[in-house]
Amino acid sequence: MTIEILMPALSPTMEEGTLSKWLVNEGDSISSGDLIAEIETDKATMEVEAVDDGKIGQILVTEGTEGVKVNTPIALLIDSNELPHATIKNIADKPYLEKENVTSKPINEKSISIEADSSLITVREALRNAMAEEMRADKSVFVMGEEVAEYQGAYKVTQGLLDEFGGKRVYDTPITEHGFAGIGIGAAFGNLKPIVEFMTFNFAMQAMDQIINSAAKTLYMSGGQMGCPIVFRGPNGAASRVAAQHSQCYASWYAHCPGLKVVSPWSSKDAKGLLKSAIRDPDPVIFLENEVMYGQSFSCPDDDNFTLPIGRANIEKEGNDVTIIAFSIMVGKSLEAAEILKNKNINAEVINLRTLRPLDIDTIIESVKKTNRVVTCEEGFPFSGIGAEISALITEKAFDWLDAPVVRVTGKDVPMPYAANLEKLALPQVDDIVSASAQVCYED
Amino acid sequence: MKKNIAKKILTEPKMNYDLNLLQEMYKKMLLIRRFEEKAGQLYGMGQIGGFCHLYIGQEAVVVGIQSAQIDGDSIVTSYRDHGHMLACDMDPKGVMAELTGRKDGYSKGKGGSMHMFSREKGFFGGHGIVAAQVPIGAGLAFSHKYNGNKNVSITYFGDGAANQGQVYESYNIASLWKLPVVFVIENNKYGMGTSVNRSSAGENLSDRGKPYGIMSEIIDGMDILAVREAAVRAIEYCRSGQGPYILEMKTYRYRGHSMSDPAKYRTRDEVDKIRKTSDPIENIKSLLNKMGVEDKTLKDIDTDIKSVVAEAAKFAQVSPEPSEDELFTNVTIN
């Protein structure tokens, strides 16, 4: 009997990986539990164990192949008494390595144009470069968090920092968010510039008191004496299939509080330019990344001095008919929606907020004056969300320019469900942005 | 629960102490006492608003520890912070003007009793959330170690705060990373209205450092020389890079938790007895007497301090309220 060994999914968001090494050869007998291959995901390199006994009949994906999609057959397992290749002709003839199963890495490489003096890098690399560059430039910058040093980052964002900067600049903490956030804040009061990584912002809830009561308010309560130059960063928002406690957008929670700056990048350029500005900023900055975006590649300036200003939005696509306002992962979805809207003769303008506090309301109002119609997009809950705030501000500042009520595209008002179909329903999709845009243009 | 105050034997006989040092400590304790009495009065007159937590009775703790510090050490404490600020030589006028919410207060009137700071004097607050200052103090110690200087962080908290989880998160990291922090537990026997034996399991609060490998001592916090000697040991230990140290100070507050506390959880007798038998200021006063300091000298000190406090109270009432423009300043730096 022949069994297909499939490319395994090794993390919630893994869609593909690199088959970096085979640890067995064709003809080798293996038992359940034996190591057979090494697979590199965007998070880590992992060893794969055999789950059945038998003999490796044929290796279908050669080592070093990148972009092998999850569930692609990578080898065939035959009974121990069979001969390799002898019984598998019919299967081996199958074109396993069809183009759709193996793509070059990164996926979106072909569709991205690389700007001058820039390189195509992932959001993850951009974040790491931003930290490394700032750490080289300023000895008071250090990194602390769970698994940031020896493990190289739970999402590999801090990969290589320990090697370059050593244990006096990169600290693994115990899993005690409240305590280490407070220690980071104390270090910032002591004139250091900590970058505190939360493995995800879901866990930062444990540290909420320190972030709000100590980091955000002390400058005011001290009459301006006690600056707190600290960055709290990590993935925010929905990951994939991790359910309610690990999938939530906290943008509106932090943006609610005076004393904080709240930044949320979309592309690699955003990630690098904004994180460098956040590290240099004298105020506490909440830096909301997105796990799903980490592996995506964009053109990013190489210059060590490249920064983007906190508090300024970017118009990613100009248009005249409707303004779509988004941040983080929703910017990409908004751009996709804008492409679809072209077919409906709707020319959408897409604003990437980049910063949620202070909000670049001027850019929004200018756009409203041009398009007269607005759709806001976020993964977070609708009630008291970022969209609700933007809608209120537009009503206050540009009511007479509106030709339709502002429509909010948001996550549904429920804790995130686990089931794949329900999760998809709970999250805002491209189609939702398309139909909301059509609605405000009275084209639905 | 039985609590034994392990009286530490002083390494030097009391009579051998430097007289100037003793007089300075006496002055500082007296300044705190008189300042707090005045603050209580001003509160009664409606000049001070909100919460106001007085330090009367606990003066020997902060003055004894402060006498063992050097320039550059950091201090951080809870909301019962007036004594700590005066011990750090912060200006009584600026402290009192903050209590009255005026522009010349240390926080321009925007912090109040619980939130004052002076980077210049190494005083990092003044924190209103019970135990929030503990990881912050460990973080200040981190900055000293990171910068490679010999300074330490003195992190004060009360017996009430000693039950907060973030204290133990801080113990753990401070011990792992050998941070130069002296955790000073000011055990005044009551966390608001709940006595220690109704809130805290186990024998002694100081014992809770043991699982983290942190050295600890229990000290009679009403005896300033015992406090000072313990502080010298603890600070020296931290400065030499051996990691954190816990000092549990057995002390007592004479006043309520805050000004609005009717103090029904203890008897008048209990308070009076401690005042009569263990008052830290009376203790050092009688020592000074025994060492030959005349009553007149001590009385002159008292008169001087009363005038310093009266001046501070006057200043705090004539200083104007902050300008309305201050409402929107200092939210962020840029």
Identify the CA nearest to A377 among candidates A334, A339, A317, A319. Answer: A334
Kindly provide the ipTM of the predicted complex, given to two decimals: 0.93
- The CB-based long-range contact list for B260-263 (8 Å cut-off, 24+ gap) reads B261/B192, B261/B193, B263/B193
Query: Do residues B76 and B100 lie in contact, with contact meaning Cβ atoms separated by under 8 Å?
Result: no
Q: What is the nearest CA distance from B169 to chain A, expressed in angstroms?
A: 5
CA distance A380 to B268: 56
A177: annotated active-site residue: yes
DSSP string over A9-76: P-STT--EEEEEEESS-TT-EE-TT-EEEEEE-SS-EEEEE-SS-EEEEEE-S-TTEEEEETT-EEEE
pLDDT in tens, B296-330: 999 999 999 999 999 999 999 999 999 999 999 99
Kindly report the CA angle at A226 between A220 and A232, in degrees rounded to 5?
90
Query: What pLDDT, on the 0 to 100 scale, is given for residue A85?
Result: 58
- For A234, residues 6+ apart whose C-beta sits below 8 A from its C-beta are A145, A197, A198, A199, A200, A201, A204, A287, A289
Give me the pLDDT at residue A103, please: 42
- Bridging pattern class, strands B153-158 and B181-187: parallel
Active-site pick, A16, A125, A134, A177: A177
In a domain, B329, yes or no: no
The stretches in chain A having pLDDT less than 70 are 84-111
Q: How confident is the model at residue B16 (pLDDT cuts 50, 70, 90)?
A: confident
Taking CB atoms and an 8 Å limit, are A182 and B109 in contact across chains?
no
Cα separation of A241 and A236, whole Å?
Answer: 14
pLDDT tens for each residue of A59-113: 999 999 999 999 999 999 998 777 765 444 444 444 444 444 444 444 444 467 8
Angstrom distance (rounded) from CA A389 to CA A408:
10
Query: Residue A286: enclosing H or E segment and its boundaries?
Result: strand A285-289
Q: Is residue B205 part of a domain?
A: yes
Query: What one-letter code names the amino acid at A199?
Result: M
What pairs with residue B154 in β-bridges?
A: B75, B182
- In order of their start, the domains of chain A are 3-92 (2.40.50.100), 109-301 (3.40.50.970), 315-440 (3.40.50.920)
Query: Are residues A178 and B169, on separate chains, in Cβ contact within 8 Å?
Result: yes
Residue B321 lies in a domain: no
Q: Within a domain: residue B208? A: yes
pLDDT of residue B135: 98
Best of A209, A220, A256 to substitute, by most chain B Cβ atoms within 10 angstroms, is: A220
What are the structure tokens assigned to A8, written together? 């395994």
Number of domains, chain B:
1
- Count of H-run helices and E-run strands, chain A: 13, 22
Q: Decide if B159 is inside a domain.
A: yes
pLDDT for the residue A2: 87
Token pair for A156: 């590999």
Put simply, the answer to whether B115 touches A185 (Cβ < 8 Å) is no
Q: How confident is the model at residue B259 (pLDDT cuts 50, 70, 90)?
A: confident
State how far residue A186 is from chain B, nearest Cα, in angstroms.
4
Asked if A186 lies within 8 A of B125 by C-beta distance, the reply is: no
Which residues have C-beta within 8 Å of that of residue B136, sequence separation ≥ 6? A182, A183, A185, A186, A189, A210, A214, B76, B124, B125, B127, B155
Identify the residue whose tokens are 């350029």.
Answer: A269
Q: How far apart are CA B133 and CA B161, in angstroms?
A: 10
Nearest-Cα distance to chain B for A389, in Å, is: 20
Strand, helix or coil for residue B61: helix
In DSSP terms, B7 is beta-bridged to none
Candidate from B135, B168, B176 with C-beta closest to A182: B135
Q: How far is CA B83 from CA B48, B220, B236, B259, in A?
A: 17, 18, 23, 16
In a domain, B291, yes or no: yes
> Distance (Å, rounded) from C-alpha B108 to C-alpha A98?
70
Poorest-confidence range of A86-95, A203-212, B45-54, B259-268?
A86-95
Answer whether A259 touches B (CB < 8 Å): yes
Residue A430: predicted pLDDT: 98
State whether A187 and B142 contact (CB < 8 Å): yes
Spatial distance between the Cα atoms of B181 and A441, rounded to a whole number of angstroms: 63
What does the alpha-carbon distance between residue A106 and residue A115 come to, in Å, rounded to a whole number?
A: 17
Query: In the prediction, which pLDDT does B1 show?
Result: 36
A112 close to A104: Cβ distance less than 8 angstroms: no
For testing the chain B interface, which of A225, A280, A283 should be mutated: the one with the most B CBs within 10 Å? A225
Handedness of CA A412, A413, A416, A418 (dihedral sign): negative
Q: Is the pLDDT of residue B334 over 90?
A: no
Q: Are strands A297-301 and A118-122 parallel, antiparallel or unpaired?
A: antiparallel
> What CATH number has the domain bearing residue B128?
3.40.50.970
**DSSP-based helix, strand, coil % in chain A, nearest 5:** 30, 25, 45
Confirm if A80 and A53 have CB atoms less than 8 A apart: yes
pLDDT digits (tens, 9 = 90+) for B275-301: 999 999 999 999 999 999 999 999 999
Q: Among partner residues B119, B136, B330, which is closest to A185 by beta-carbon distance?
A: B136
**Chain A residues with CB-CB distance to B137 below 8 A:** 186
Helix axes B280-290, B295-318, angle to 10 degrees: 140
Task: Report, in angstroms and rounded to the nearest whole number, the Rg of chain A calculated over CA atoms.
Answer: 24
SS3 of A364-404: HHHHHHHHCCEEEECCCCCCCCHHHHHHHHHHHHHHHHCCC
**Is B163 a member of any domain?**
yes
Show the domain range for B20: 14-313
Which of A173, A176, A192 is facing B146, going by the closest CB pair?
A192
pLDDT attached to residue A50: 87
Residue B334 lies in a domain: no
Please indicate if any CB of chain B lies within 8 Å of the CB of A219.
yes
pLDDT in tens, A373-388: 999 999 999 999 999 9
| Mean model confidence pLDDT for chain B | 95
